[in-house]
Structure 1
């Protein structure tokens, strides 16, 4: 039982690292998209203002929240496997 909790702890530490790496990567992609949009468009505000406003909108977007599936999907799979293997 202790071994399972150690495995779960290290698993969630690994998932946390993956989550932060994905969050940083997707945020950098969004920043790059906003910078290219500014460079190609006729946007009246400053470049930094446009990027800051776009990143603020990104923080509340569905795409940002979907990164939490990094924790949800593996947890659901493990729970399903434990349920199936123990109760079938």
Structure 2
């Protein structure tokens, strides 16, 4: 019973960390895209704010399918694998 309670608390904490990391990563990517667009706009002043919105939207759509976004899921896998390994090692060695 204690172990199940521990797992529930662990999953809640992992979910909070996952959401925070996802938001931070997406905001960091958005900032990078805005900076990149401003650098392009300095080279080509004909770019409009509508082009900026489109550029950022396309960049974030590309980010949504990226490996980096999928790697954030390791927040769930690594701690559970480590705990499982420790339990296995302690019980069978």
Interval of TM-score (by shorter of Structure 1 and Structure 2): over 0.9
- 1:52 aligned residue: 57
Counterpart for residue 13 of structure 2:
14
Deviation, structure 1 residue 41: 1.1
Q: Does 1:23 align with 2:28?
A: no
TM-score, normalised on structure 2?
Answer: 0.89
Q: Could you tell me which runs of 5 or more consecutive residues in structure 1 were left unpaired when the two chains were aligned.
A: none
Structure 1 partner of 2:3 = 4
When the two chains are superposed, the root-mean-square deviation of aligned CA atoms in Å is 1.3
Q: CA deviation at 1:48?
A: 0.5
Number of paired residues?
A: 87
Aligned to 1:82: 87
Measure, in 2, the Cα distance between the counterparts of 1:41 and 1:5.
53
Deviations 1:13-59 (A, max 9, x none): 00000000000000000000000000001575710100000000000
Q: Computing the radius of gyration over CA atoms, which structure comes out larger, 1 or 2?
A: 2
Q: TM-score, normalised by structure 1?
A: 0.94
Equivalent residue for 1:67, pick from 64, 69, 72: 72
